[in-house]
Amino acid sequence: MEEKNLLEKLKSGARSGVKYILILVVLLALSTQVFYSVSEDEQAVVTTLGKVTATESAGLHAKIPFIQKVNKVDMTTHGVGIGYVIDGGGQNIPIDTDAKMITSDFNLINVDFYMEYRVSDPVAYLFNTEDPEMILANEALSCIRAVVSDFPVDDVMTTGKGQIQSEIRDMLADELADKEIGISVVNITVQDAEPPTAEVALAFKEVETAKQGKETAINNANKYRNEQIPAAQADADRIVQAAEAKKAARIAEAEGEVAKFNKVYEEYQKYPQVTKKRMFYETMEEVLPDLEVVISDGNVTQYMPVDAIERG
């Protein structure tokens, strides 16, 4: 009888244990349906019967089981190649249909871009479109083709890359804002730009070599100009200074002559006859020593003096 009672107790305890285990399993299942966690790199969009009711950031949150649904969205920055894909070994595999473009001077060129983007609006990202990444890729390629077609091939390959990147980024930002897909572009850069064939690539290299030669010649010419201009300026300054000195001397001389004339004129006004005679005598004193004077009565044949001939 005691053995039978013990067996009944064991069976009852086993049934109670199973019941407790079942209750614990149910509670654990309910807890996974009620509580959820969001990491630092995510945002959670909560829908209640299909309608968006909340957006949660990092942390532990609760929801109503079977009524509310949580959609987690990765908010980190992602990168994608345009014009190429990366295989499993890390090698870039070109996609000619995406990379080949036409420039403003009607040249073909292969251009690869690398685009970085992130989710800016998780609600729009989840519910406005079915495949926002595909829309992003198509819009990016469209904007790239539009911008590249405005630049000549030389600018695309060399000095115009910065401006091209800036214009593509601005245009793509406007297009994505209009489409409202919940994605924003962080950055877009030119990875590589080269002609589509080896022959064209060789021609471009020759053109680039010629450009470098042109730049070298221009630099040499500028160096020669910079060396010669200071010397020429020094010569010009010296000539100007000599002219200024001569000008000042001539002006001083003329002013002296004017002062002398004015004094003579003042004396002339006081004593005209005396001044005339004085001026006559002074002039004769200057002129007569250099003259050869011949006195004749008008009837004698005149000969050139020998001493005058010797003097030339």
DSSP secondary structure letters along 212-248? HHHHHHHHHHHHHHHHHHHHHHHHHHHHHHHHHHHHH
Pairwise CA distance, residues 240 & 175, whole Å: 66
User: What's phi and psi for 163, nearest 5 deg?
Assistant: -65, -40
Nearest to 61 by CA among 75, 76, 42, 82: 42
CA 140-145-146 angle, 5° bins: 100
Q: Are 109 and 103 in contact (CB under 8 A)?
A: yes
DSSP secondary structure letters along 57-96? -SEEEE--TTTEEEEEEE-S-EEEEESEEE-TTS-EEE-H
The third-level CATH classification (topology) of the domain covering 78-196 is: Tetrahydropterin Synthase; Chain A (3.30.479)
Pairwise CA distance, residues 81 & 35, whole Å: 38
Q: Where are the CATH 3.30.479.30 domain residues in the chain?
A: 78-196
The angle that helices 198-270 and 272-287 make with each other, rounded to 10 degrees, is 120
Per-residue pLDDT of the chain (312 residues; tens, 9 = 90+): 555 555 555 455 555 555 656 655 554 555 557 788 899 999 999 999 889 999 999 988 888 888 889 999 999 999 999 988 877 666 778 888 888 888 998 888 889 999 999 999 999 999 999 999 999 999 999 999 999 999 998 889 888 999 999 999 999 999 999 999 999 999 999 988 887 766 666 666 777 788 788 888 898 888 888 888 888 888 888 898 989 888 888 888 888 888 887 887 777 777 777 777 777 777 777 777 766 666 666 665 555 555 555 555
Q: How far is CA 271 from CA 230, 234, 283, 298, in A?
A: 61, 55, 18, 38
